Chain A
Amino acid sequence: MMWLIARREFRTRTFSKANLITSSIMLVLIVGGALILKPLISGGDGEPQPVEVSAETAALVPYLEAAATALEGNYEFVEVENPDETMVSEETAGLIVGQPTSPEVVLEGDDQSLVAVVTAAAQAAVLDSQVSELGGDPVEVSTAIAQATPTVTIVGEDKGADTGSYFAGLVVILVLFTVLIQSASVIMMGVVEEKSSRVVEILLATVRPTTLLGGKVLGVGLYALVQAVTLVVPLVFAAVYLDFIGELEIGLGALLVNFGVWFLLGFALFAMFFGGLAALVSRQEDLGAVTTPMMLLMLVPLYLAIYLVPNSPDGTVTMVLTQVPFFAPFMVPMRSAFGTIEPWEIALALTLCVLTIPLLTWLAGRVYAGAVLNTGGRMKLRDALRQG
């Protein structure tokens, strides 16, 4: 029975024209954005640019290749006999002539990265020849240089607050917030639609109010999940494709698990809550009176998570709010991203949320049952509870 209701909700929402259009636009924007951004960010991946090297400079090529790899320049070095030193051949990035230890670079424009590669290569070549002249082993020297890096240990409060984890946590709770707000308003509109079209009277003659509300929440939940997936999958694709994950050192798996778990819990909490309250009004026009304060209320945990966690990851307020059910869906993922949350805190927050859900379902079902047949003006919460 509940499944029938859920299926109808899911189908009408997911296959509505408006939704299909919005989703495809989002998809195109994110994927397209990533595709367009990629060359701008990485400076042209794809085919390596050929660079001509004259025969007299050929000894420099191994050094050039090593330097290009180290500096992430994507060049291919091609040997040519007696090149024209006054011009750069078509489709090539530049021309290198002269002695390996003092090469000359001929460029069409000001290609700083190629100059840097050649400089590094020439310096390495000079270093090698000097080391050889002094009777040393160039390989040994390079190995020693490579190992001479400092080991960094950060002591103090600053340990978690790096941009990478902040960014990751922010993305998770923002996506969560967007999806929750969206599905909450869909549920509320659905409840009011049934109420204002009075179809609810036929439905309630066959199903219990709680079954109806439950089916609605389930159906819209599945719809929201599809929404979230259409939002998250391209985002993950974009992040992987643009190599944000590697650069910011974000654990993608943990991030997704975090999102998944708190999506489900947060959804159950907020959707039930909003669904019950929506039954208080009879017309779409009156919905604003109920939704606006609730949207504002939802902003509170979001902002607290965004501002409180980076500034005071282990503070008492942060720790207490983590355990409050309506705050947890935002606080826990953010703190997890920062790595400043203890496993027992996560476990406790999860338990509290899971325990709150049946209580809230009962309460919301009661408000819904009491208010859903009331027509006319807005109903008082207390009256709805009494009649439910």
Chain B
Amino acid sequence: MSVLEIESLVKSYGDVRALDGVSFAVAAGELFGFVGSNGAGKTTTMRIILGVLRADAGEVSWNGAPVDRDLRRRIGYMPEERGLYPRMKVGEQLVYLARLHGLTEPAAAAAMEHWTEVLGVAQRRDDAVEKLSLGNQQRVQLASALVHGPEILVLDEPFSGLDPVAVAVMSDVLRAQADAGVPVVFSSHQLELVERLCDRVGIVKAGRMVVNGTIDDLRATDTQRWSVKFADAVAPPAASPPGAVVEPADDGGWVVEAADAQAAQAALAIAAQSGTVVQFAPIRPSLTDLYRDVVTSEEQEEVVPG
């Protein structure tokens, strides 16, 4: 299977080390969410993938071969800082960009018509880009990344500044591209969206990929936690069952930390005796929790002198 591999990228701007050995791989058909705080190195990584920037060290390869200019023409790219010719017409511009990527004139025109239709900007084809609203400009920007039928998609914050309808359209398009066998890498600060949409997530922090895995892997924890909810508030038992720790939750229920399923069942039995249980459900950390954990833990490490 085709794989886009990013291996130990290093890049410094003067004294600032923007990337400090970022590595990850995205397989064909996979949606990879790239998250991290501002300045963590997401944009730099994407620019290096596109060859817009040169890495100081490290390599980007596709199917084992280094990504060269010829392949880069088959990548769809949406830069963080949106860029289109403001005074050029939408249709003309998309055809021009498609042709720069090697499409013939008729193929480019057909692709332009298809994508403006799909992204809902078909009626604006003859307008100059600068006359469009920001949201619509963003749709055109995505169209410019898709118009040449790319083999790989690299999108820097494609969702920022979009209304919910546009977010849904954009999500569907990305999902469809991934299902068609295109590896899709995109960065975003909208963590719920990333969690819902992506197959895999990578969190970068200070130029390093600190977490990388499928959503399920990331959310799996060593000790399973359960939330118990009652019809009325119930105080936790004085003694927890063996293998479990019961603590009060904010909403009057309990939080049970159980080493195994048996301990969880024992805790449930105690709960059923204590009051009317309305819900007993596993607690899985959201991506937001994970992200917060990653960021703060790193910061604590920085604070405590080694």
Chain A residues within 8 Å of B, Cβ to Cβ: 1, 4-5, 8, 12, 193-194, 197-208, 373, 375
Contact = CB atoms under 8 A, between A and B. Distances in A.
Interface residues of B, number: 25
A170 to B, nearest CB: 37
A204 B52 contact: yes
Contacts of A373: 47, 52-53
Nearest to A198: B83
Interface in B41-85: 47, 50-53, 69, 72-73, 75, 77, 79, 81-85
A198 B69 contact: no
Contacts of A199: 83-85
Given A198-B81, A202-B83, 11 more contacts: A193-B86, A197-B84, A197-B86, A198-B83, A199-B83, A201-B79, A201-B83, A202-B144, A205-B72, A206-B72, A208-B69
A206 B101 contact: yes
Interface stretch (B92-100, B239-247, B264-272, B289-297): B92-100
A208 B85 CA distance: 18
Determine chain A's interface SS by DSSP, over half rule: helix
A1 B82 contact: no
8 smallest beta-carbon distances between A and B, as pairs: A198-B83, A199-B83, A205-B50, A201-B79, A198-B81, A205-B77, A206-B73, A204-B52
A219 to B, nearest CB: 12
Nearest to B86: A197
Contacts of B73: 206
Contact of B100 (A193, A201, A207, A375): A207
Determine chain B's interface SS by DSSP, over half rule: loop
Of A197, A206, A207, the most chain B CB neighbours within 10 A belong to A206
Contacts, number: 54
Nearest to A383: B14
A371 to B, nearest CB: 13
Contacts of A207: 100
Of A4, A197, A199, A203, the most chain B CB neighbours within 10 A belong to A199
A204 B47 CA distance: 10
B88 interface: yes
Contacts of A5: 100
A147 to B, nearest CB: 70
A146 to B, nearest CB: 68
Of A198, A200, A201, A205, the most chain B CB neighbours within 10 A belong to A205
Contacts of B86: 193, 197
B77 A202 contact: yes
Nearest to A212: B100
Contacts of B83: 197-202
Contacts of B50: 205
A18 to B, nearest CB: 11
Contact of A205 (B51, B81, B99): B51
16 contacts: A12-B88, A193-B85, A193-B86, A197-B84, A197-B86, A198-B82, A198-B83, A199-B83, A199-B84, A199-B85, A201-B77, A203-B100, A205-B75, A206-B72, A206-B73, A373-B53
Contacts of B144: 202
A1 B79 contact: no
Contact of A201 (B52, B87, B97, B101): B52
B52 A205 contact: yes
B101 A198 contact: no
A353 B75 CA distance: 40
Nearest to A8: B96
A23 to B, nearest CB: 19
Nearest to B81: A198
Contacts of B75: 205
Nearest to B79: A201
A375 B53 CA distance: 13
A201 to B, nearest CB: 4
Nearest to B69: A208
B85 A197 contact: yes
A201 B51 CA distance: 10
A48 B73 CA distance: 72
Nearest to B75: A205
Contacts of A203: 100
A1 B100 contact: yes
A202 B81 CA distance: 10
Given A197-B83, A206-B72, A4 B99 contact: yes
B52 A198 contact: no
Contacts of B87: 12
Contacts of A193: 85-86
B154 to A, nearest CB: 9
Contacts of B100: 1, 4-5, 203, 206-207
B96 A4 contact: yes
Contacts of B51: 204-205
A366 to B, nearest CB: 13
Given A197-B83, A208-B69, A202 B97 contact: yes
Contacts of A200: 83
